[in-house]
Chains A and B, each alone.
Chain A
Amino acid sequence: MFSVLYNIIISPIELVLEIIFELMFRILGQGKTNQGLAVIGVSIAVSLLTLPLYYRADVVQQKARNIQQKMSHWVNHIRKTFKGDERFMILRTYYRINGYSPLSALNGSISLLLEIPFFIAAYHFLSHLEVLNGASFWIIKDLGKPDELFKLGTISINILPIIMTVINCIASAVYLNGFPIKDKIQTYGMAFIFLVLLYKSPSGLVVYWTCNNIFSLVKNIFYKLKHPRETAYILSAIIGTLLTTSIILSGILNSKKKFMAILFFQFVAILPLICYLAKSYISAFKKRTVGILGSNDSVLSWEFFLAGVFLTLLFGVLIPSSVIASSPSEFINLQDYHNPFLFLINSTCYAIGFFLVWLGIVHHMLSPTVRQMLTLMLWVVSGGCLLNYMCFGRNLGLLSPLLVFETGVNFSKVVKLINIMVLCGLSALLLYLFRFKRTVISIYIVLILCISSVSFYQIYIGQKDLQSMSYIKSIQQKTEIEPLIPLSKKGKNVIVFMLDRGISGYVPYMLEEKPILKKQFDGFTYYPNTLSFGRHTLFGAPPLFGGYEYTLVEMNKRSSELLEYKHNEALKMLPVLFGENHYKITVCDPPLAGYKEFPDLSIFNDYSFIKAYHLSGVVKDKALEKNMHELPLYRNKRNFFCYSVFKTLPLFISKIIYDQGDYLSHFSNKIVLPRLFYEYSVLTLLPKLTQIDDINENTFLSIQNATPHEFRVLQLPDYELKENVNNEGHKTGIEGRINRYSDVSEAHYYVNMASFLQLGKWFDFMRENGVYDNTRIILAADHGYHYLRQFDYMIINKIYDNATEYAFDVAGVNPLLMVKDFNAKGFTTSKEFMTQADVPTLAVKNIIKNPINPFTGKVISDKEKTAHPQITTTSRNYGVNKNTVFNTSDGALLSVHDDIFNPDNWEMVEPGTAP
């Protein structure tokens, strides 16, 4: 209960503070002394944000004080004359006659009370801000500790709290001029209490409070001036200009964005003065707008309330629930299982806090006209938000569980322009409609009902999905790593190792950068000319594990069976076949088993000889875990709300809040992906997971790992997984070898390299234990990556790819394929045309006689490869759970034969004409 209240009232303010701090920190640059400046910035921002509340409080309190003074004679008279209920009733009547209500008197106090959340938020934020630890500022050595500026022998005295108290006393003296002695004692008493309370606090916190006190002093001086407003406007303009000029002259602004930010600051500083000078124009404008607004003096405006509810549901429930419902299992943290829909509580709390509580408070404190203007503004904003969410920025590609888009967020100028124009049109329409109060209310009610039912439906669907994955709950974290993968010393071992999104094109570069890999990968043949049957696991995994019977064209031919059934069949084919041939079978992390993001191992339940395991998310490399700062999904508690904001903002500014996936947080989401940690953990633990058996038994291992899928920049030179990567001074591995530089392609190279290095270590382990030569290893990927655009020879200009909006990049359908046969030596490259569907043929070759698919009875072979051109697709249709055939209409069907890098070999295929 307390945390819900905290999330509703405090968290929204904390979010704003965090964003202010982060923006300041970024503008100032992450220098070592800038933490102090940023703290001061936060103090100024908080003081400015609460200034209107202070002002209102003072005005209301003064009014109340005047009325009380005026009434005091008769109040005393009534108190003396009447008794009991009658006294109360007469007093109430007298208050009413004077337009005084004890509640309205409390208004002044309420606004002061409301400031407490600001202070709690600031305190909570600053005390959890690790960057303050060890940061020096001016004469303070460490903002995370008491200042200890003065030493008297062995005793350290903290000077800053004393300065703070002195300023506090001066501010109080100015404020209390002419107040009764009782007030003075209270105020100075409080100043002393604060000295005691804050004396041993971290100096960063004391800096913050000292600044608040200075602000309070300035404010109190202004109150005593004859023309406080005018003076404040002029001073704001002068100080703003001086600050801006000095910052520009100091040369710390090293980017165009920072320069723009400072100009914006300058504009804000002089805005009040401009407004004041243009007062007469503004009042004329006000008069005009009042016409549109109509008159509404009632305290509760239904339009305002409904707008608050609508925005709360949109930001807090609808948008986050749609993301979670799309793939609930991805938002499950196996380290700490919670229903992912619980994130909705956080996002809803933020939304309630922003749109109902804080906006409500602001609304309550405004004058009736401004109140109506706010209601009108919310009406237009509501429409704009819904439009942006429903109609714009819909195809942004894959979204990670940390709400980071795989391919970043980019909108073309044309789209941005269209967005602005449509928004302007909608705003005009909404402004016109605002006259019709009933229409507005009806629209709100209809939208609220729609949003509620859609959200409910999404949550229902997601819950159902989660129920079908109830096995996830039962998966226990493994504290001790057990050897689960048996490899035989005397028999034969066959390993089919799928690396999700293993990039074929990087292999030569990786081997060149780390020559040790060539030794470790001794015996492998690398097939660069390999085709995948799609650009996503759904299309690529079935042929990889099941061969040519499970390509997209062949699966679609069995149109009466569910895709899920055929997918599971493909995953089971090799384990069952090898099992029937008396191999010891191990299956680890079969991709999308049961068509579930988190594999459903029950598909192997009918086969007692198959040992199936979850590794990813279950086994953790403790050495790596030390580098993890916090539960990775924790940030989603905050970021889901920010994601909603991002999705509803006009496109030209939405990128600012998206902030490359960090959502203006001080904690970067790019640090590490939880899934990368889990996947990479499996690779580093492979030697520990391997059981070397001395008995004469053959083994078969089918394993999948997605480390190359979770692309991130890693720490050079050893491609280590770390939170704070600093690669200054290191040459990036692919520098000078790629055609185009981009974050995405670089990060893919890092994770591919990290995978290879770990696999190399595993192969070394196998060699040391005498199980390398008697093992056939097939490294294959389900697909490549179509946004790579690294190799000119892979770009097929004649084919336009509507997903990337560029020419077709073969890299998307060029998966890794490397094969090491028994006793093979050396490292060779073969340009033979291969497909991922060759894997089963390669796996069974020469060790299983007459290999037949146990499910279809057909012979396992690669004859199909040369019988006709192969069909692949650029489709990314994922919603296939209930389908029996792949619907590839969102992309193209393409045919290719032989050399996949020869543009002439590629053709577009009309749907329905595939062989």
Chain B
Amino acid sequence: MESLLLYIDPGTGSMLFSILIGIVGTLVFFGQQVLLKIKFIISGGKTQKINNSKIPCVIFTEDKRYWNVFKPICDEFERRKISVICWTACQNDPCLSEKYTYVKTEFIGEGNKAYARLNMMNAKIVLATTPSLDVYQWKRSKNVDRYVHIPHSVDELLGYKMFGLDFFDAVLLSGEFQGKYIRKLEQKRNTKPKELVVVGSTYMDSMAVRHKTLKQVCGDKGTNIPHILLAPSWGTKAILTKFGEKLIDILVDTGFDVTIRPHPQSYISEKNIIEPLQKKYPESENLHWNTDNDNFNILASSDILITDFSAITLDYALIFEKPIICAATPADNAPYDSAWFDEPVWRLQIVPEIGYWLDENAFPKLKLLIEKALKSTEFKANIKKISDVAWQNKGHAAEAVVDYMTREEK
């Protein structure tokens, strides 16, 4: 019989090649999918029984660093005596040590174990700040009615990995302007429009409160010497790795107070860079190395922040109303949602309005730039303007979030 297979209608002959390619392609594609599933199962992602009863509200936090986003919300639930469940995938998440009556916190395991639990969960509404729902291992559960995203930044939200927000049902915005970008992406990708609700920013609210308290406690600092905080990111493109001694020399030469706060990760993976630097530039009167767990105090005490560009830059400017100097290292935005836009994203556009871009050519006049920035009233005014756009509903975000969740849950 085998020879019969050779007799195929000549008219369709050429198609056979494409069929063959199609089949092989599909086999490879599905092979990958199967492989991925197997990997998932091997690493502990066993399916679990669906909870019998539907949970009204679930907060899911992937890491302890997002506690600042969720704490105000949990506090609000507790204050209103409304039950909520808070799942964390981080074993030492501070939420686990909170003593709530109405907020039930639970560690659901890490990695795929957590995803397995999430993928089978049965709830009316799930609030999370983790992006990329239904892109990576975290899948939409068929038994969840509504997935709601709450951002952990106040920028235009294009900094997520591609398709970061596409499979959420709703996004709680800190400012209305974020909605425009989300809608544009929806149009570009022809995806279902999400519900967009402006609630403000919970972690910004907390930081503002903390800043206010700190100010009341410590008052103004006694000296007029500007305090420069150099807080780089880590990795090959980060400013400390790239410019290192050259930059520190210039900063020390300014005669200002300089605090260097390397990224915690640098102490782990860039020891070979940090240790020689620490040796060469030991602690002195106007040069300090900061390793505090909580960066709030050091941020609050600085007058200007020199850093690589990240979301924290904006938070710094808006909370402390101080200018920034950002390294002009061109960030590769190819993996992010921002790649879908031809123009520079909002958070980059606003940098010249609240500070300066710093490149190697500007090193000789860095002192000048710092002084100019510190004196600039325009920057101060711009920071206030941007704050009003990016961070609306100041001080009431947690209430708005809980209002939204309790309304939707019904």
User: Taking beta carbons and an 8 Å cutoff, which residues of A are in contact with B?
Assistant: 2, 6, 77-78, 80-82, 85-86, 88-90, 92-94, 97-98, 102-103, 105-106, 109, 112-113, 115-116, 119-120, 123-124, 164-165, 168, 171-172, 175-176, 183, 186-187, 189-191, 193-194, 197-198, 209, 212-213, 215-216
Whether, in the assembled complex, B19 has its beta carbon less than 8 Å from a beta carbon of chain A, the answer is yes
- Contact at B36–A113, with CB atoms within 8 Å? no
- Contact at A93–B19, with CB atoms within 8 Å? no
Chain B residue with the shortest CB-CB distance to A90: B162
- Contact at B11–A168, with CB atoms within 8 Å? yes
Whole-angstrom distance between the alpha carbons of A910 and B133 in the complex?
87
Chain A residue with the shortest CB-CB distance to B36: A85
Chain A residue with the shortest CB-CB distance to B189: A97
Chain A residue with the shortest CB-CB distance to B16: A190
A528, chain B: closest CB distance, angstroms: 59
- Contact at B191–A97, with CB atoms within 8 Å? yes
Residues of A close to B36: CB separation below 8 A: 85, 88-89
Residues of B close to A168: CB separation below 8 A: 10-11
- Supplied contacts A94-B162, A193-B13, 13 more A-B pairs, CB within 8 Å: A81-B339, A90-B161, A92-B33, A93-B135, A102-B25, A105-B26, A109-B18, A115-B12, A123-B4, A186-B14, A191-B13, A213-B10, A213-B11
Chain B contact residue count (CB 8 A cutoff) = 40
Known interface pairs A90-B135, A97-B190; A172-B163 also in contact (CB < 8 Å):
no
* 6 A–B contacts from the bound complex (CB under 8 Å): A89-B136, A93-B135, A187-B13, A191-B13, A212-B10, A213-B9
A579, chain B: closest CB distance, angstroms: 57
Residues of A close to B8: CB separation below 8 A: 116, 119
- Contact at B26–A102, with CB atoms within 8 Å? yes
Mask, B117-139, CB within 8 Å of A = 1, is 00000000000000000111000
Residues of A close to B23: CB separation below 8 A: 106, 109
Residues of B close to A89: CB separation below 8 A: 36, 135-136
- Contact at B29–A102, with CB atoms within 8 Å? yes
Whether, in the assembled complex, B335 has its beta carbon less than 8 Å from a beta carbon of chain A, the answer is yes
- Contact at A190–B10, with CB atoms within 8 Å? yes
Whether, in the assembled complex, B15 has its beta carbon less than 8 Å from a beta carbon of chain A, the answer is yes
Whether, in the assembled complex, B156 has its beta carbon less than 8 Å from a beta carbon of chain A, the answer is no
Whole-angstrom distance between the alpha carbons of A216 and B33 in the complex?
38
Mask, B147-189, CB within 8 Å of A = 1, is 0000000000000011100100000000000000000000001
Whether, in the assembled complex, B217 has its beta carbon less than 8 Å from a beta carbon of chain A, the answer is no
Whole-angstrom distance between the alpha carbons of A95 and B219 in the complex?
56
- Contact at B9–A216, with CB atoms within 8 Å? yes
Residues of A close to B14: CB separation below 8 A: 172, 176, 183, 186-187, 189-190
A828, chain B: closest CB distance, angstroms: 65
Residues of B close to A115: CB separation below 8 A: 9, 12
- Contact at A103–B26, with CB atoms within 8 Å? yes
- Contact at B12–A112, with CB atoms within 8 Å? yes
Q: Find B22's partner among A86, A105, A183, A212 (CB 8 Å cutoff).
A: A105
- Contact at B11–A171, with CB atoms within 8 Å? yes
Residues of B close to A172: CB separation below 8 A: 11, 14
B27, chain A: closest CB distance, angstroms: 10
- Majority SS at the chain B contact face: helix
Chain A residue with the shortest CB-CB distance to B32: A88
- Contact at A112–B11, with CB atoms within 8 Å? no
A846, chain B: closest CB distance, angstroms: 69
- Contact at A112–B15, with CB atoms within 8 Å? yes
- Contact at B26–A106, with CB atoms within 8 Å? yes
Chain A residue with the shortest CB-CB distance to B2: A2
- Contact at A216–B163, with CB atoms within 8 Å? no
A821, chain B: closest CB distance, angstroms: 64
Whole-angstrom distance between the alpha carbons of A81 and B135 in the complex?
16
Whole-angstrom distance between the alpha carbons of A438 and B161 in the complex?
46
B266, chain A: closest CB distance, angstroms: 24
Whole-angstrom distance between the alpha carbons of A120 and B1 in the complex?
9
Whole-angstrom distance between the alpha carbons of A499 and B26 in the complex?
68
Residues of B close to A112: CB separation below 8 A: 12, 15-16, 19
B136, chain A: closest CB distance, angstroms: 6
B11, chain A: closest CB distance, angstroms: 3
Q: Find A97's partner among B16, B166, B339 (CB 8 Å cutoff).
A: B166
B62, chain A: closest CB distance, angstroms: 17
Residues of B close to A123: CB separation below 8 A: 4, 7
- Contact at A194–B10, with CB atoms within 8 Å? yes
Residues of A close to B161: CB separation below 8 A: 90
User: Which 3 A-B pairs give the minimum distances between C-beta atoms?
Assistant: A190-B13, A216-B11, A187-B14
- Contact at A77–B4, with CB atoms within 8 Å? no
Whether, in the assembled complex, B5 has its beta carbon less than 8 Å from a beta carbon of chain A, the answer is yes
Residues of B close to A213: CB separation below 8 A: 9-11
Chain B residue with the shortest CB-CB distance to A179: B14
Whole-angstrom distance between the alpha carbons of A6 and B5 in the complex?
12
Whether, in the assembled complex, B334 has its beta carbon less than 8 Å from a beta carbon of chain A, the answer is yes
Whole-angstrom distance between the alpha carbons of A112 and B8 in the complex?
11
- Contact at A197–B5, with CB atoms within 8 Å? no
Residues of B close to A189: CB separation below 8 A: 14
Residues of A close to B163: CB separation below 8 A: 90, 93-94, 97
Whether, in the assembled complex, B6 has its beta carbon less than 8 Å from a beta carbon of chain A, the answer is yes
Known interface pairs A89-B136, A97-B166, A186-B17; A120-B7 also in contact (CB < 8 Å):
yes
Whole-angstrom distance between the alpha carbons of A75 and B99 in the complex?
49
Chain B residue with the shortest CB-CB distance to A88: B32
Residues of A close to B1: CB separation below 8 A: 2, 6
A176, chain B: closest CB distance, angstroms: 8
Which residues in chain B, 176-215, are within 8 Å of chain A measured between CB atoms?
Answer: 189-191
- Contact at B9–A209, with CB atoms within 8 Å? yes
- Contact at B334–A119, with CB atoms within 8 Å? no
A77, chain B: closest CB distance, angstroms: 7
Residues of A close to B16: CB separation below 8 A: 112, 190
Residues of B close to A105: CB separation below 8 A: 22, 26
Whole-angstrom distance between the alpha carbons of A168 and B13 in the complex?
10
Q: Find A124's partner among B4, B11, B135, B190 (CB 8 Å cutoff).
A: B4
B131, chain A: closest CB distance, angstroms: 12
Chain B residue with the shortest CB-CB distance to A171: B11
Whole-angstrom distance between the alpha carbons of A482 and B360 in the complex?
114
Residues of B close to A191: CB separation below 8 A: 10, 13
Residues of B close to A106: CB separation below 8 A: 22-23, 26
A136, chain B: closest CB distance, angstroms: 24
Whole-angstrom distance between the alpha carbons of A90 and B9 in the complex?
39
Chain A residue with the shortest CB-CB distance to B12: A112
B186, chain A: closest CB distance, angstroms: 10
Known interface pairs A80-B334, A168-B10; A116-B5 also in contact (CB < 8 Å):
yes
Whole-angstrom distance between the alpha carbons of A78 and B7 in the complex?
41
Residues of B close to A186: CB separation below 8 A: 13-14, 17
Residues of A close to B32: CB separation below 8 A: 85, 88
Whole-angstrom distance between the alpha carbons of A2 and B9 in the complex?
22
- Contact at B135–A82, with CB atoms within 8 Å? no
B169, chain A: closest CB distance, angstroms: 15
Chain A residue with the shortest CB-CB distance to B166: A97
Residues of A close to B11: CB separation below 8 A: 168, 171-172, 175, 212-213, 215-216
Whole-angstrom distance between the alpha carbons of A119 and B1 in the complex?
13
Which of A86, A93, A193, A216 gathers most chain B CB within 10 Å? Answer: A93
Which residues in chain B, 30-54, are within 8 Å of chain A measured between CB atoms?
Answer: 30, 32-33, 36, 39
Chain B residue with the shortest CB-CB distance to A6: B1
Whole-angstrom distance between the alpha carbons of A198 and B3 in the complex?
12
Chain A residue with the shortest CB-CB distance to B334: A81
Chain A residue with the shortest CB-CB distance to B332: A81
- Contact at A197–B6, with CB atoms within 8 Å? yes
